Amino acid sequence: MTASTCNSTPRRAPILVILALAGLVLQGCAGGAVTGSVYAASGAAAAKLHQKRQEFRNNLKEDYASYQKLFSSSECDPEQYRVSPKILDYLEDSAPTEDGYAEAQDILLEIYKDPTLSLNVRAHALYLTALTEAQKEGGSRAEARDYLKRVQSEFPGTHDCAVDKLLEQGSSIQ
């Protein structure tokens, strides 16, 4: 008879291997929960940003329609109050992260301050800055009027009729 060299006691997996496997399984579950939470939070943020962008676009269209209506019966030269379709398209297509009017105003002020640009371009940028000031969140109508007065004093003859129209009693910037 041969002597048995095998140990008859069943082999057990080392405790560290079991803990490691359990950790991997739990990590996958927890990882999925964390990943799902991140996706849900980022999805909610994206939805909120999309809603804000849509709201801005709608407000922009409404604001521009009322602006055009204000000037429809005026005797002002359209060149004084016309907003370039390119500017409107840019505003509509841009992705405001906070307030689209405030973001546009920052760009317009940079244009206004650039001495290498023509006087008409700078005058129009300052004029549009007044309009954005009146519409942005937390904007000041008094500051908007001050911008309009600066257009008249710094760039006489460029927007006089339009500025007078906006400053007169009953206009949208009072």
* pLDDT top residue among 169 and 97: 97
56 pLDDT tier (thresholds 50, 70, 90): confident
- Counting residues of the chain whose pLDDT is more than 70, the rounded percentage is 69
Candidate from 17-21, 73-77, 154-158 with smallest mean pLDDT: 17-21
How far apart, in whole angstroms, are the C-alpha atoms of residue 14 and residue 41? 40
How far apart, in whole angstroms, are the C-alpha atoms of residue 97 and residue 93? 12
The 10s digit of each residue's pLDDT in 68-100 is 888 888 888 888 888 877 777 777 776 566 677
Q: What is the DSSP string of 2-69?
A: PPP-S--SPP---HHHHHHHHHHHHHHHHHHHHHHHHHHHHHHHHHHHHHHHHHHHHHHHHHHHHHHH
Structure-block tokens of residue 119 = 């006087």
CA distances to 62, 80, 100 from 57, rounded to whole Å, are 9, 24, 9
How far apart, in whole angstroms, are the C-alpha atoms of residue 115 and residue 125? 12
Residue bearing tokens 């297509």 = 93
How far apart, in whole angstroms, are the C-alpha atoms of residue 131 and residue 145? 9
Domain ranges of the chain: 15-167
26 pLDDT tier (thresholds 50, 70, 90): low
